[in-house]
Amino acid sequence: MKSRRPEPRAERPGRKPETAREKPSDDERAGASPRKEARGPRPERGPRGGRPGEETRGAKGKPRADEARGQGPGAARGKGPAKKGAPPARGGGGKGARPEARGAGARPGSPGRGGRPATTDDLTRGPRGGTGEGRRDRTAPRPRPEPRPAPEASGPSRSGTVALIGRPNVGKSTLLNAALQQPLSIVSKTPQTTRDALLGVVHHGSAELALLDTPGLHRPRTQLGRVMNEAARDAARRADVVVFVTDVSPRPVKHKEDGTPIEPRPLLPHPGDLVLLADLAPDRPALLVVNKVDLLRDKRHLLPLLEAYGKVRNFDAIVPISAQREDGITLVLDEIARFLPEGPFRYGVDDVTDKPARYFAAEYVREQILRATQDEVPHATAVTIDRYTEPRAPGQAVQIDATIHVERQGQKRILIGAAGAMMKRIGIAARERIEELVGGKVVLRLWVRVTPDWRESLPRLEELGYGKARAGGADAAEYVIVAERDTEADEADDEDAGDEDLDDDGEEDEDRDEEDLDDDGDDEGTPDEDEEE
Ligand SMILES: Nc1nc2c(ncn2[C@@H]2O[C@H](COP(=O)(O)OP(=O)(O)OP(=O)(O)O)[C@@H](O)[C@H]2O)c(=O)[nH]1
């Protein structure tokens, strides 16, 4: 379906939350009555440009010193087509075809903190500015106080699908959100938050990037894990460009007995990455994005790491970024755009994604579960939308009934909490996030249901929305825009509530059911070990 553009909505007076209440029997209900903070006008979508301080380097370890400092327009060029040859179908992927205006002269300073979740308006029309009032999401990217200046459209138009691939928790969803300039995809500190490929459309100069956020590739222990891995691999297979995302994380500084710090070992490519890169889409352009460079205390460790990665694969470009701080995003988009095939845009300039609002309603409930619970609960949770009814008159609320599926009674008890307190907390936070999405009032009713072993049952996974062939991405002949609020109630195919676990305290979960690729590179192994500085 094609979207209609909603008018900017007016500010609404605040409302008070309702007290959650429980329902007898196996279902538990927690209502969160509408409460909304007033919000200001939405800024126009803006163009993009480079940023000072963005670092980049060419593939195979040749640092681009000038560009690494964001001083030159050619930052993040890598070897590019000059070495691999511009793909014929991508025609002229050299400098001449590149969008201009990035690097120096770009938006100064770091983006502002805070901000609010996306609204329907934002999802269809562009980024939000704002001051961050009412924002609860500490892990979502911080909105920019000003939109990025866009590169000028130059050369032929390019469009294509771009898969963001990598281990869990490296920041793929954060990167997508930063590129979109809105927190569309749910982000959490717990690995395996993303359970399905999610499209985000970015128009960048003369290029249209259909970015696919994907589940982190990991060692699966359940059918769900296998389905998630397949979703990621499928996205990589159908992509025109693969962006392999990895991260750097500082190790704690160790000290000798006399208290002097031990010189940290150099950073090395993550062993799991070596496994994944061994057979990752060898026949198409691949970019490496090294995320979380803000965590490096000593940036001298970055260059050897980039060089080491450059020896693993003949990347077309290597771009170190901080997705969370939105540093380096423009360079990533520039580099991707260079390798897209020439062709007309497939989406409207205001289109953002192909999932309906009900999909995000389920995801945002799951997001709050990830934030509010820990241990085994998040991984054992899925969310389905039982009813999504649009308001019949102005001022009325969207009515949403959602079921939270868990696997055991104990998990249900945890989710409900004492006197329903946990459910209430989740319900209120999710409802507020959904209200921002749909741009209006929402009445959200949540039930908790025990669906034993749903992660191991393919039919159950199908019912819960996992593993189906989904419309989306650049291949979709028709697509639904999230702003379109007339989603059919029986649109069962879109009830793909993702669910993944997230610790509120940010610790990697101890009892998660899937693991990252391990050091021996056999797709079986131990959880991630953060690299340290
Ligand atoms: N310090 C820092 N943290 C980041 C950065 N990017 C992402 N994170 C954090 O890393 C965690 C994981 O981020 P996600 O975007 O959910 O990672 P993902 O790769 O999509 O994770 P999966 O869903 O497991 O595949 C979150 O806590 C983010 O806030 C960054 O640039 N710097």
pLDDT at 288: 98
421-441 pLDDT, tens digit each: 999 999 999 999 999 988 899
Closest-CA residue to 517 (of 244, 286, 317): 244
Q: Are residues 241 and 285 in the same domain?
A: yes
Q: Are residues 481 and 406 in the same domain?
A: yes
CATH number assigned to the domain comprising residue 394: 3.30.300.20
Q: Are residues 183 and 98 in the same domain?
A: yes
141 found inside a domain:
no
Q: What is the 191 CA–ligand 1 centroid distance (Å)?
A: 9
pLDDT at 250: 62
Q: Are residues 76 and 38 in the same domain?
A: no
Average confidence score pLDDT of the chain: 68
202 found inside a domain:
yes
Final residue before a domain boundary, out of 294, 313, 339? 339
- The atom of ligand 1 lying closest to the CA of 249 is 1
Burial 185-200 (b: 16+ CB within 10 A, else e): bbbbbbbbbbbbbbbb
286-322 pLDDT, tens digit each: 999 999 999 988 888 899 999 999 999 999 999 999 9
- The atom of ligand 1 lying closest to the CA of 191 is 24
- The atom of ligand 1 lying closest to the CA of 245 is 19
Nearest CA to ligand 1 atom 32: 292
DSSP 63: B
- Residue 127 predicted with pLDDT over 50: no
Query: Does 173 appear as a known binding residue?
Result: yes
Closest-CA residue to 99 (of 37, 150, 38): 150
Tell me the pLDDT band of 258, cut-offs 50, 70 and 90. Answer: confident
Q: Are residues 362 and 442 in the same domain?
A: yes
Q: Are residues 504 and 381 in the same domain?
A: yes
Q: What is the 10 CA–ligand 1 centroid distance (Å)?
A: 33
Q: What is the 294 CA–ligand 1 centroid distance (Å)?
A: 12
Number of CB atoms found within 10 A of residue 409's CB = 11
Nearest CA to ligand 1 atom 26: 189
Burial class of residue 398 (count of CB atoms within 10 Å of its CB; 0-12, 13-18, 19+):
buried
- The atom of ligand 1 lying closest to the CA of 170 is 19
Question: CB of 384 within 8 A of CB of 362?
Answer: yes
Strand partners, 402: 385, 446
287 found inside a domain:
yes
pLDDT at 253: 67
Strand partners, 304: none
Q: Are residues 418 and 319 in the same domain?
A: no
- The stretch 57-64 carries a mean pLDDT of 37
- Residue 393 predicted with pLDDT over 50: yes
What is the count of structural domains for the chain? 2
Q: Are residues 315 and 421 in the same domain?
A: no
Q: Are residues 205 and 239 in the same domain?
A: yes
Q: Are residues 307 and 209 in the same domain?
A: yes
523 found inside a domain:
no
Q: Which domain does 497 fall in, by range?
A: 30-43+356-516
pLDDT at 251: 62
CATH number assigned to the domain comprising residue 174: 3.40.50.300
Work out the percent of the chain whose per-residue pLDDT is above 90.
Answer: 47
460 found inside a domain:
yes
Pocket of ligand 1 (CB under 6 A): 139, 166, 168-174, 187-189, 191-194, 215-216, 291-292, 294-295, 322-324
* Cα 167 from Cα 268, distance rounded (Å): 15
466-481 pLDDT, tens digit each: 876 333 333 322 222 2
pLDDT at 154: 74
- The atom of ligand 1 lying closest to the CA of 193 is 23
Which of 165, 174, 219 has most ligand 1 atoms within 8 Å of CB, for mutation? 174
Chain-centroid distance, C-alpha 360: 13
- Residue 130 predicted with pLDDT over 70: no
**Token representation of residue 263:** 């010189």
- Residue 95 predicted with pLDDT over 70: no
Q: What is the 188 CA–ligand 1 centroid distance (Å)?
A: 7
Helix, strand or coil, per DSSP, at residue 287: strand
- The atom of ligand 1 lying closest to the CA of 140 is 29
Is pTM beyond 0.95? Reply is: no
- The atom of ligand 1 lying closest to the CA of 141 is 29
The string of DSSP letters for 133-157 reads TT---SSSPPPPSSPPPPPPP-SS-
Which of 51, 110, 185, 187 has most ligand 1 atoms within 8 Å of CB, for mutation? 187
Length of the chain equals 533
Q: What is the 33 CA–ligand 1 centroid distance (Å)?
A: 31
Nearest CA to ligand 1 atom 8: 171
Q: What is the 104 CA–ligand 1 centroid distance (Å)?
A: 27
Interacting residues of 318 by C-beta distance below 8 A, sequence separation 6+? 56, 57, 58, 59, 76, 78, 287, 288, 289, 290, 306, 309, 310
Q: Are residues 190 and 332 in the same domain?
A: yes
Interacting residues of 469 by C-beta distance below 8 A, sequence separation 6+? none
Closest-CA residue to 427 (of 9, 30, 10, 25): 30
* Cα 347 from Cα 339, distance rounded (Å): 18
The residue ranking higher by pLDDT, 412 or 349, is 412
8-21 pLDDT, tens digit each: 323 333 333 333 33
pLDDT at 377: 86
Strand partners, 322: 327
Query: Does 166 appear as a known binding residue?
Result: yes
370 found inside a domain:
yes
- The atom of ligand 1 lying closest to the CA of 194 is 23
DSSP 325: T
- Residue 63 predicted with pLDDT over 50: no
Nearest CA to ligand 1 atom 30: 292
Interacting residues of 218 by C-beta distance below 8 A, sequence separation 6+? 167, 168, 191, 192, 225, 228, 229, 514, 515, 516, 517
Q: Are residues 38 and 81 in the same domain?
A: no
Query: Does 41 appear as a known binding residue?
Result: no
Among 23-27, 169-173, 298-302, the range scoring the smallest mean pLDDT is 23-27
Query: Does 314 appear as a known binding residue?
Result: no
53 found inside a domain:
no
Query: Does 439 appear as a known binding residue?
Result: no
Interacting residues of 143 by C-beta distance below 8 A, sequence separation 6+? 111, 112, 114, 115, 116, 127, 128, 129, 130, 132, 181, 182
Tell me the pLDDT band of 146, cut-offs 50, 70 and 90. Answer: low
Nearest CA to ligand 1 atom 27: 189
Nearest CA to ligand 1 atom 14: 171
Q: What is the 169 CA–ligand 1 centroid distance (Å)?
A: 5
DSSP 440: S
- Cα 477 to Cα 347, 447, 471, 473, 491, distances in angstroms: 10, 35, 8, 9, 17
494-509 pLDDT, tens digit each: 333 333 322 223 333 3
Choose from 104-108, 250-254, 288-292, 522-526 the range with maximum mean pLDDT: 288-292
123 found inside a domain:
no
* Cα 341 from Cα 187, distance rounded (Å): 30
Which of 173, 302, 528 has most ligand 1 atoms within 8 Å of CB, for mutation? 173
